């Protein structure tokens, strides 16, 4: 596991797990390392961006990632954050995101894969939904990873 080498090297470490649905707690257990606020997590980068730009997000992310955004003002969203969240990709939620973008909102994608593999086959990833929101909202997404 690459983290063994990293831990022994005494170099600053930055982690970003491609499985964005993992919370910091789960990451700590899997890496056998201490995740500090300065470490990069799937929600850490977009959270910083939202704070720097005073944006209020509509979160289309897996519920387990939502804790990364705790404390942010999400009322009257002027930004949309998209991650891997199959339960969020339904017409009413996507329409809410579309409207936020039409009002000048920013689109932030944690990543944009077209699909992902699961035990029972391939599934659409967030990429097609990001592209649909870009097209319909007339915006260009900020892609984090």
Q: What is the CA radius of gyration of the chain?
A: 16
Distance CA 78, CA 71 (A): 16
How many residues in the chain? 145
Place of tokens 């992902």: 116
Please give the C-alpha separations between residue 111 and each of 5, 32, 42, 49, 83, in angstroms, as whole numbers.
Answer: 27, 25, 9, 15, 7
| Per-residue pLDDT tens digits of the chain, which is 145 residues long | 344 444 444 545 444 444 444 555 555 556 665 656 555 555 678 899 999 999 999 999 998 888 889 999 999 999 999 999 999 999 999 999 999 999 999 999 999 999 999 999 999 999 999 999 999 999 999 999 8
Instruction: Examine residue 29 and state whether it is found in any structural domain, yes or no.
Output: no
Domain span including residue 104: 42-143
Instruction: Examine residue 106 and state whether it is found in any structural domain, yes or no.
Output: yes
Look at the pTM and tell me if it is higher than 0.95: no
**Domain count of the chain?**
1
CATH at 101: 3.40.50.1000
């Amino acid at each position: 596991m690459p983290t063994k080498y990293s831990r022994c090297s005494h170099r600053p470490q930055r982690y970003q797990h491609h499985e964005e649905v993992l919370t910091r707690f789960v990451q700590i257990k899997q890496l056998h390392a201490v995740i500090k606020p300065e470490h990069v997590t799937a929600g850490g980068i977009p959270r910083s961006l939202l704070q720097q730009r005073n944006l209020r997000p509509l979160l289309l992310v897996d519920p387990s990632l939502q804790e990364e955004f705790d404390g942010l003002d999400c009322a009257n969203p002027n930004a949309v954050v998209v991650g891997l969240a199959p339960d969020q990709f339904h017409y009413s939620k996507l329409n809410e995101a579309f409207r936020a973008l039409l009002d000048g909102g920013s689109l932030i994608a944690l990543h944009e894969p077209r699909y992902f593999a699961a035990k029972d086959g391939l599934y659409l990833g967030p990429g097609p939904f990001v592209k649909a929101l870009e097209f319909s909202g007339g915006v260009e997404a900020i892609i984090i990873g």
